[in-house]
């Protein structure tokens, strides 16, 4: 019991110490006319996302802004995304808090990296290529440490969440696992705090978080995370990349 209390105390201390670790100190945000941070607003119109049908077939493009704007009826354009779950070699999972400057789900806690493949050079970007690009940008991980062979494409998840009623999500999310010891230097425009959480401490650590968790991370947590985390040593055997899951909670 004493050891467990000490462990939790150390984790609490560690979390506070790493709350604002980022590539640069957090600077006051410069806002556009809509109240959005300038870099985030620029990405909304610059990034071209991939529209898909319910079978994840590419059917067209739209800006990131168009893909996340909630319509009057609550609809959001269905588009392709990815979510990376990062583990170190000990099996601890990387957990981050999204920057308060993010347009969607600011200050929410989530898994390591959640973003979109883009339409680049007149063609859809590959998922692993997009994941490496964003992990380098958001987490500061050098590209030479992001070996494409270390990614495991676990499955796809189709979900819809209206967010705050203005900005939301409707994605077919490609779930990727990546396990390696990498150098992390987060970008403060994207991430405000982070830590690696041991599996044995995860359930007790969640109630100590100072904000909600993202809907996609929560779905994986409820429906698949324990199974996959318990089996990191044989994770490729559990991969079902051909499937598109629609998780439904029992009432």
- The pLDDT, as a whole number, for residue 7 is 35
> Which helix (DSSP H) or strand (DSSP E) does residue 123 occupy?
strand 123-124
CA distances to 34, 119, 128 from 64, in Å: 16, 11, 19
- The pLDDT, as a whole number, for residue 37 is 73
190-201 burial string, b = 16+ CB within 10 Å, else e?
A: bbbbbbbbebeb
- The pLDDT, as a whole number, for residue 17 is 35
- The pLDDT, as a whole number, for residue 88 is 98
Terminal alpha carbon distance of the chain = 35
**Catalytic residue chosen out of the listed positions 37, 125, 169, 171:** 171
- The pLDDT, as a whole number, for residue 32 is 60
Q: What is the Cα–Cα distance from 87 to 14, expressed in whole angstroms?
A: 17
- The pLDDT, as a whole number, for residue 41 is 74
Torsion sign, CA atoms 179, 15, 135, 109: positive
The position carrying tokens 């041991």 is 198
> In the chain, what percentage of residues exceed pLDDT 70?
84
**Catalytic residue chosen out of the listed positions 114, 125, 169, 193:** 114
Work out the burial of residue 159: count CB atoms within 10 Å of its CB; fewer than 13 is exposed, 13-18 middle, 19 or more buried.
middle
Q: What is the Cα–Cα distance from 93 to 109, expressed in whole angstroms?
A: 13
Query: Structure tokens of 59?
Result: 């059917």
CB-based contact 194:15 (threshold 8 Å): no
Q: Which residues of the chain have pLDDT under 50?
A: 1-21, 23, 251
Please confirm, yes or no, whether 114 is among the known catalytic residues: yes
Q: What is the Cα–Cα distance from 26 to 246, expressed in whole angstroms?
A: 37
Q: What is the Cα–Cα distance from 229 to 195, expressed in whole angstroms?
A: 17
Q: Other CB atoms closer than 10 Å to residue 1's CB: what's the count?
A: 5
64-73 burial string, b = 16+ CB within 10 Å, else e?
A: bbbbbbbeee
Work out the burial of residue 151: count CB atoms within 10 Å of its CB; fewer than 13 is exposed, 13-18 middle, 19 or more buried.
buried
Phi, psi of 63 (to 5 degrees): -70, 160
Region label for 181, one of left (φ > 0), alpha (ψ between -120 and 50) or beta (otherwise): beta
Please confirm, yes or no, whether 113 is among the known catalytic residues: no
- The pLDDT, as a whole number, for residue 251 is 45
């Amino acid at each position: 019991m004493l050891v467990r209390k000490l462990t939790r105390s150390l984790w609490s201390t560690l979390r506070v110490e790493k709350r604002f670790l980022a590539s640069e100190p957090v600077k006051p945000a410069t806002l556009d006319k809509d109240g959005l941070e300038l870099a985030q607003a620029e990405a909304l119109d610059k990034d071209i996302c991939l529209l898909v049908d319910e079978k994840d077939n590419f059917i067209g493009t739209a800006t990131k802004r168009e893909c996340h704007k909630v319509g009057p009826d609550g609809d959001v354009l269905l588009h392709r995304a990815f979510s990376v779950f990062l583990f170190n070699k000990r099996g601890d999972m990387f957990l981050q808090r999204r920057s308060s400057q993010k347009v969607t789900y600011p200050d929410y806690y989530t898994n390591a990296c959640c973003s979109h493949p883009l339409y680049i050079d007149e063609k859809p970007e590959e998922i692993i290529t997009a994941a490496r690009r964003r992990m380098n940008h958001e987490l500061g991980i050098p590209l030479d440490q992001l070996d494409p062979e270390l990614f495991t494409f676990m499955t796809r998840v189709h979900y819809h969440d209206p967010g705050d009623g203005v900005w939301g999500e409707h994605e077919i999310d490609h779930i990727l696992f990546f396990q390696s010891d990498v150098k992390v230097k987060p970008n403060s425009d994207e991430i405000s705090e982070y830590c690696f959480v041991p599996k044995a401490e995860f359930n007790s650590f969640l109630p100590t978080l100072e904000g909600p968790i993202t809907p996609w991370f929560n779905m994986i947590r409820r429906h698949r995370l324990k199974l996959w985390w318990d089996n990191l040593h044989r994770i490729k055997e559990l991969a079902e990349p051909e499937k598109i899951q629609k998780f439904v909670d029992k009432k």
